[in-house]
Amino acid sequence: MNRFFLLVFILLVLAEVSIGQDYTLESPAKTNRIEVSVVERLTYKVLHKNETVLNPSAISITINDKKYGSEPKVRKSQTRSVNEVIKPVLKVKRAEVQNDYNELELQFAGKYGVIFRAYDDGIAYRITTNMKGEITIQDEEIEYNFGVDHTASIPVADGFFTHYERNYTTQKINALGDEEMSCLPILVHLQNGRKAVITESDLYDYPGFYLKKGTVTHSLSGTLPGYPKQYKQPDDRDVRPTEREEFLAKTNGKRSFPWRLMVISDEDKDLVENELVLKLSSPLKLKDTSWIRPGKVAWDWYNANNITGVDFESGINTDTYKYYIDFAAEHKLQYVILDEGWYDIKTNDLIHPVSTIDMEELARYGNEKQVGLILWVTWKALEDMLNPALDQFEKWGVKGIKVDFMQRDDQWMVSYYEKVARLGAEHKLLVDFHGSYKPSGLRRAYPNVITREGVKGLEQHKWEGQMANPEYDVEIPFIRMLAGPMDYTPGAMRNAQKRNYQAFFERPMSLGTRCHQLAMYVIYESPLQMLADSPSNYHKEQECMEFLSVVPTVWDETMVLDAKFGDYVLIARKSGKEWYVGALTDWSDRDLEVDLSFLGEGEYTIDLYQDGANAERHAEDFKRIKKKVTHQDKLKIHLASGGGWVARIY
């Protein structure tokens, strides 16, 4: 009798632990399919409309010297379907985000699991663990086995110490050098005009990942920075790891790891509308968000505090910043930034400004004018006196901080981002990360993380010139912006075409036309949007300021009307009862059609700005037109080389 019960018990255990099984997961509309194989190793295959996108690609994680994902044994599998609406605190693309997906969760012997999700616009997976105490992660195997030497648009990094400000190199996957690696997101040009973008989401207490050429032909593999062991700090801002540990992270054994996601699109414009990173992010962690106010900012650093027509010497002083506050108030801008120089970078004392700045008076004056102050800091200066500094900022009445020069995404630094977000929220401070890694979902849990850099923005024109150009400008909406808001800092009023352009640190000019700059306020997503040029230059451009004063930074609805990666993009966005439409082109002039059928019934006024007849000779040339339109109209528009077009419809 005892032998009988023992046999029954063994059979039950064998039934619970499955070896050599396959699982299939389809998206709600059956657009995408994930085929999971559990044999000698755990792999997944991805199909889009029954065509293979990824050949079987390995998933594993090495914990405490043991590789999980090798010889996997399934203990339990379960599926679920979700149909929900996310209402983000900051409406970066739209007020409501539809979140529909099917999910497969596999739990394996060894107290780990993998969750797969299939969306109609992409797929994702994440590893989970249910282990006691702290665990040490030595490696994670992330593989994208395309089976075809696709072309990819790659932001090649020069190592794990990077600010993610990279131009895209369009090349074959196999052409990636053995020692080269790519930041994320990366765009892969699939067959039949389809595209895939790879990135990650819900990154907490764990390093970000990069891509390198895989060991399997026509593949890419993930690589992650080890935990920093030794550093060198040659100046006030660069803290560079010189030696790393043999592990990636030490972390809680009961946790979920970041989502590894791939967006798959049939049309280029789908990439611009995609919100998969947000959908995969952890939900809101703040109880009170009423104080989080999006808006526009008068920025000092790009224009080197160069103002004219005043009776005081401009620079890092109280009079200059009162002038910026007056300008902001006049044009209904919500904030002014005090960038580098307001504190002594030799002492990194964030509590005592330089003698020429009366911070209490500026905060009082700004409050009187309904203009908030945002303070720039290096991350190391902030970290060294974090709590006293945040207490002082709150005491002054500062509304936000711009934290700069992290240039890392190892486990320590990723956790630092969350710490700043959490403590910033406790002090009611917005956070704008510069010198940062790509957005990876933090903004949904902490919407006070209102924007971040990680983009080759307008500041490049102060020194580098040709790298931030109209070609790049129509690549980033499809790749970088897919990850989340980007602080490109547009708004240059000095504009030039290639032949009459030069980099100029104190009086920079942008590449492309004036309308190219104006259109960025509709095309580029950032709930905190800079006006980068000098107030004196804006005062000379009242027609442009009439647009910049009213253009929103958050949106109820977004519609990509037409787009082609690296060539052009045309977007309509709604705020309240008004619509804004913007278009950007690369160095090719082109004609586009704006179909106004998205408008409701009735007659509207359109206030549009178009490249002037001589914009290809003098980039600042533009023409403003006001007229009546209806939803039946189709507007023919012309964009000059490096040009743009923008309109307000009300």
Rg (alpha carbons) of the chain, rounded to whole number: 26
- What's the rounded mean pLDDT across residues 635-650? 99
How confident is residue 495, by pLDDT bands cut at 50, 70 and 90?
very high
End-to-end Cα, the chain, rounded Å? 84
Helix (H) or strand (E) holding 536: helix 535-539
Backbone CA torsion sign across 39, 43, 44, 45: negative
Please compute the mean of the pLDDT values over residues 209-225 and round it to a whole number.
Answer: 97
- Domain ranges across the chain: 16-279, 456-528+552-650
- pLDDT tens track for 546-579: 999 999 999 999 999 999 999 999 999 999 999 9
Q: Which residues pair with 38 in a beta bridge?
A: 21, 42
d(CA 279, CA 468): 30
- State the pLDDT at residue 464: 78
Q: What gap in Å lies between CA 260 and CA 400, rounded to an integer?
A: 31
Confidence of residue 18 (pLDDT cuts 50, 70, 90): low
Output the pLDDT for position 19: 58
Has residue 382 got a pLDDT over 80? Answer: yes
Average pLDDT over all residues of the chain: 96
**Separation between Cα atoms, residue 338 and residue 428, nearest integer Å:** 18
Q: Which range (233-237, 442-446, 523-527) has the least confidence?
A: 233-237
Reported as a single tens digit per residue, the pLDDT across 297-350 is 999 999 999 999 999 999 999 999 999 999 999 999 999 999 999 999 999 999
Cα–Cα dist 158/522, whole Å: 32
At residue 2, does pLDDT exceed 60?
no
| 456-528+552-650 maps to CATH 3.20.20.70 | yes
- Burial of 602 per CB tally in 10 Å (0-12, 13-18, 19+): exposed
Average confidence (pLDDT) over 146-168: 97
Mean pLDDT, residues 434-451: 99
What are the tokens at 206? Answer: 């764990």
CA distance 281 to 363: 35
Which one from 202, 404, 409, 453 is the annotated catalytic residue? 404
Percentage, residues of the chain above pLDDT 70: 97
Instruction: Say yes or no to pLDDT of 620 above 70.
Output: yes
- The pLDDT confidence band at residue 76, using thresholds 50, 70 and 90, is very high
- CATH for 16-279 is 2.70.98.10
Work out the pLDDT band at 13, boundaries 50, 70, 90: very low
The token pair that represents 7 in the structure block: 């046999």
Unique residue bearing structure tokens 């700004």? 366
Helix (H, G, I), strand (E, B) or coil at 413: helix
CB 476 within 8 A of CB 497: no
**Measured between alpha carbons, how far is 557 from 96 in angstroms, rounded to an integer?**
8
Indicate the residue type of 317: N
Longest dimension (CA), the chain: 103
Q: Do residues 28 and 81 lie in contact, with contact meaning Cβ atoms separated by under 8 Å?
A: yes
Model confidence at 253: pLDDT above 80: yes
Instruction: Provide, rounded to the nearest whole percent, the portion of the chain with pLDDT above 90.
Output: 96
- Residue 465: band (very low, low, confident or very high) from pLDDT cuts 50, 70, 90: low
Which tokens belong to 35? 């085929």
Over residues 348-368, the mean pLDDT reads: 98
In DSSP terms, 125 is beta-bridged to 116, 260
Catalytic (active site) residue 404: yes
**Side-chain half-sphere CA neighbours of 133 within 13 A:** 4
* Residue 467, pLDDT score: 78
Q: Which one of the listed residues 165, 410, 432, 459 is annotated catalytic?
A: 459
Closest of 189, 139, 187, 195 to residue 166, by C-alpha: 187
CB 576 within 8 A of CB 634: no
Helix (H, G, I), strand (E, B) or coil at 525: coil
CA 352 to chain centre: 33
Rounded distance between C-alpha atoms, residue 305 and residue 324, angstroms? 9
Count CB-CB contacts under 10 A for residue 591: 9
The tally of CA atoms less than 13 A away on the side-chain side of residue 175 is 10
Confidence of residue 66 (pLDDT cuts 50, 70, 90): very high
591 has catalytic annotation: no
pLDDT tens by residue, 78-108: 999 999 999 999 999 999 999 999 999 999 9
pLDDT (mean) for 538-549: 99
Angle CA 138–139–140, to nearest 5: 145
Average pLDDT over residues 501-510: 95
Tell me the pLDDT tens digit for each residue of 389-440.
999 999 999 999 999 999 999 999 999 999 999 999 999 999 999 999 999 9
